[in-house]
């Protein structure tokens, strides 16, 4: 005779429901459960039922009672959280630009993240963002429930103006509009100043997400070779004479991917040519905090005549804050502020208040100093590693988050990347930094913070040792 299933009591059902939430990570260690009275009222149970359920959870070591305080979730062994939207990509997947962008969101233990676009988290944790969140939450609560100014939170803009003055740039509050980071800034500029079918000038190798944005807009990009001291002036002048390009996108300092800086001589000539041909230069300086304030910037020389300056704190403070800005002449910035309002109504005043508090505190300058010390040491160490591997390095900057290198006998780093994925090594193939991503490239962008990684070094050596057999 088949036995009847055991009837589950209401208190056990309540305990099972809460237990599933704890094991699934919805309720985390240290979280306080609602009081007995409150839980009973919210769910329509008797107080005795809830007392019995909480007692069962205590017996199963899922919660603990703290006298006079209530019930709290205990620490339990659970599998590490994974972002289900960013599962590791299979080795057979096509390696393309979107693949590289997805890699920036994957954090896998044991992987060698040479393709990483950001500094390691432990370089940034000194800022202790939790302190500033608490500070913001205690002040200005009345305005945190409303849309902010289309230009951005005024005290933050005032702090940014002081920062720009350290770079030799003079501007007023209406010459600066805040954004959700540098990529949002580029989106706004492209929407306003690049129409479908327009010809634009870009650096090659250059910032690969920019190429995708321009392609999406329907623009035609002409590549200007990035030399060690900046864009190739002969190519730039020729492109201006033979095309109707009116916008040039470039980076002045800590160029992504080569790590190079524009020399004052090249920068001065770029501005002369831009003025002669009425071209707007978009200066993306997202890596500003990784370089000294004295580093050359086009907008410091031009004072925003024919230039727009893009800044960001994603890599120096936190990408999660999504804070950046555009600086330029009043007319340009007003148009961009209107466009920002039309598309997004406003930026996050909460996030901007957090950033303003960070910039206002003296610790930020010390943080930037530590950040530059770390990147300087990592650059020197990375150059030594590449020298031991007999790699050719495009440029040898004193401090840069990126180095642009190639390995003897390796002609296609897209194929190299595919082979190294099975060993847990992720590279950024050079082809992705070209306008034509199908163009074969022997170069790769390497993050200096991860260059002295034994898995990467051993994997490259194995590849180089196998070259005679593969030939």
Question: CA of 348: how far to CAs of 152, 153, 355, in Å?
Answer: 8, 9, 11
Q: What residues form DSSP beta bridges with 405?
A: 393, 444
Q: What residues form DSSP beta bridges with 54?
A: none
HEC secondary structure over 84-139: HHHCCCCCCCCCCHHHHHHHCCCCCCCCEECCCCCCCHHHCHHHCHHHHHHHHHCC
Residue 360: its pLDDT value, please? 87
Residue spans per domain, the chain: 10-73, 87-124+366-470, 128-363
The CATH classification number of 128-363 equals: 3.40.640.10
If you average pLDDT over residues 369-394, what whole number do you get?
96
Question: Comparing C-alpha atoms, which of 185, 207, 190, 191 is closest to residue 312?
Answer: 185
Six-digit token string for 50: 């809830």
- Examine residue 205 and say whether the peptide bond preceding it is cis (omega within 30 degrees of 0): yes
**pLDDT tens digits along 227-281:** 999 999 999 999 999 999 999 999 999 999 999 999 999 999 999 999 999 999 9
Q: What is the distance between the alpha carbons of residues 209 and 6, in angstroms, rounded to a whole number?
A: 59
Q: What is the distance between the alpha carbons of residues 111 and 455, in angstroms, rounded to a whole number?
A: 9
Six-digit token string for 380: 């020197």
Six-digit token string for 370: 């530590």
Question: Comparing C-alpha atoms, which of 306, 312, 317 is closest to residue 248?
Answer: 306
Residue 260: its pLDDT value, please? 97
Six-digit token string for 263: 């020399």
**Is the model's pLDDT at 372 over the cut of 60?**
yes
Q: Which residue has the higher pLDDT, 139 or 382?
A: 382
Confidence of residue 2 (pLDDT cuts 50, 70, 90): very low
**pLDDT tens digits along 180-234:** 999 999 999 999 999 999 999 999 999 999 999 999 999 999 999 999 999 999 9
Residue 93: its pLDDT value, please? 43
Q: What is the distance between the alpha carbons of residues 434 and 425, in angstroms, rounded to a whole number?
A: 22
Q: What is the distance between the alpha carbons of residues 118 and 103, in angstroms, rounded to a whole number?
A: 11
Confidence of residue 122 (pLDDT cuts 50, 70, 90): confident
- Residues in Cβ contact with 365 at an 8 Å cutoff, skipping those fewer than 6 apart: none
30-34, 295-299, 422-426: which is most confident: 295-299
Q: What is the distance between the alpha carbons of residues 346 and 5, in angstroms, rounded to a whole number?
A: 58
First to last CA, the chain: 73
Q: What angle do CA 404, 408, 412 make, to 5 degrees?
A: 70
**pLDDT tens digits along 449-471:** 999 999 999 999 999 988 765 55
Residue 250: its pLDDT value, please? 98
Q: What is the distance between the alpha carbons of residues 74 and 28, in angstroms, rounded to a whole number?
A: 8
Q: What is the distance between the alpha carbons of residues 462 and 129, in angstroms, rounded to a whole number?
A: 42
For residue 74, give the DSSP letter: P
414: left (phi over 0), alpha (psi -120 to 50) or beta: alpha
**Is the model's pLDDT at 11 over the cut of 70?**
yes
Q: What is the distance between the alpha carbons of residues 223 and 24, in angstroms, rounded to a whole number?
A: 50
Q: What angle do CA 190, 195, 197 make, to 5 degrees?
A: 120
CA within 13 Å, CB half, 411: 5
Chain-wide mean pLDDT for the chain? 87
**Is the model's pLDDT at 296 over the cut of 60?**
yes
**pLDDT tens digits along 135-169:** 776 665 556 667 778 999 999 999 999 999 999 99
Number of alpha helices (DSSP H) and beta strands (DSSP E) in the chain: 16, 16
For residue 32, give the DSSP letter: B
If you average pLDDT over residues 31-60, what whole number do you get?
85
**Is the model's pLDDT at 306 over the cut of 60?**
yes
Residue 237: its pLDDT value, please? 97
The CATH classification number of 87-124+366-470 equals: 3.90.1150.10
Pairing mode of beta strands 230-231, 220-227: antiparallel
Pairing mode of beta strands 112-113, 425-426: parallel
Q: What is the distance between the alpha carbons of residues 142 and 159, in angstroms, rounded to a whole number?
A: 22
Q: Do domains 10-73 and 128-363 have the same CATH topology?
A: no
Asked if residue 336 lies in contact with residue 189, where contact means CB atoms within 8 angstroms, the answer is: yes
Residue 1: its pLDDT value, please? 40
State phi, psi for 2 to the nearest 5 degrees.
-75, 130
Q: Which residue has the higher pLDDT, 365 or 336?
A: 336
Residue 4: its pLDDT value, please? 45
Confidence of residue 3 (pLDDT cuts 50, 70, 90): very low
- CATH, domain 10-73, list 3.30.950.10, 3.30.1300.10, 1.10.10.10, 2.120.10.30: 1.10.10.10
CB-based burial, 445-467: b 16+ in 10 Å, e otherwise: bbbbbbbebebbbebbeebbeee
60-69, 94-103, 165-174: which is most confident: 165-174
pTM equals 0.79
Which residue bears the tokens 């000539």? 269
């Amino acid at each position: 005779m088949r036995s009847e299933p055991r009837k589950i009591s209401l208190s056990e059902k309540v305990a099972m429901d809460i237990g599933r939430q704890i094991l699934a990570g919805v309720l985390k260690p240290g979280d306080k459960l609602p009081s007995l009275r409150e839980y009973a009222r919210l769910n329509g149970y008797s107080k005795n039922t809830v007392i019995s359920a909480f007692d069962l959870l205590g017996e199963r070591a899922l919660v603990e009672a703290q006298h006079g305080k209530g019930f709290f979730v205990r620490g339990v062994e659970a599998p590490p959280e994974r972002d289900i939207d960013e599962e590791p990509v299979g080795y057979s997947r096509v390696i393309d630009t979107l693949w590289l962008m997805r890699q920036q969101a994957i954090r896998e233990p044991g992987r060698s993240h040479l393709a990483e676009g950001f500094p390691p988290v432990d370089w940034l944790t000194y800022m202790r963002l939790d302190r500033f969140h608490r500070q913001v939450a205690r002040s200005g609560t009345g305005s945190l429930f409303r849309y902010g100014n289309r230009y951005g939170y005024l005290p933050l803009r005032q702090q940014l103006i002081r920062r720009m003055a350290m770079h030799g740039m003079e501007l007023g509050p209406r010459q600066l509009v805040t954004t959700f980071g540098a990529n949002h800034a580029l989106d706004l500029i492209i929407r306003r100043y690049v129409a479908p079918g327009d010809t634009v000038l870009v650096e090659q190798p250059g910032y690969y997400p920019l190429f995708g944005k321009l392609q999406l807009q329907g623009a035609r990009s002409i590549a200007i070779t990035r030399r060690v001291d900046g864009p190739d002036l002969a190519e730039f002048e020729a492109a201006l004479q033979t095309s109707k390009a009116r916008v040039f996108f470039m980076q002045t300092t800590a160029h992504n991917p080569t790590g190079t800086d524009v020399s004052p001589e090249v920068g001065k000539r770029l501005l002369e040519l831009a003025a002669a041909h009425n071209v707007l230069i978009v200066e993306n300086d997202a890596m500003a905090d990784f370089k000294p304030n004295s580093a050359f910037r086009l907008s410091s020389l031009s004072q925003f005549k024919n230039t727009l300056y893009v800044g960001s704190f994603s890599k120096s403070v936190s990408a999660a804050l999504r804070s950046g800005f555009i600086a330029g002449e009043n007319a340009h910035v007003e148009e961009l502020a209107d466009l920002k309002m039309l598309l997004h109504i406003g930026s996050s005043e909460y996030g901007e208040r957090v950033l303003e508090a960070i910039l206002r505190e003296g610790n930020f300058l010390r943080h930037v100093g530590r950040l530059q010390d770390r990147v300087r040491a990592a650059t020197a160490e990375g150059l030594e590693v590449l020298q031991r591997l007999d790699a050719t390095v495009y440029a040898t900057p004193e401090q840069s988050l990126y180095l642009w290198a190639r390995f003897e006998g390796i002609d296609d780093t897209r194929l190299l990347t595919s082979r190294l994925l099975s060993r847990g090594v992720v590279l950024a193939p050079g082809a992705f930094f070209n306008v034509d991503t199908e163009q074969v490239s022997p170069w790769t962008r390497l993050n200096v913070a991860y260059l002295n990684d034994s898995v990467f070094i051993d994997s490259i050596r194995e590849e180089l040792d196998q070259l005679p057999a593969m030939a």
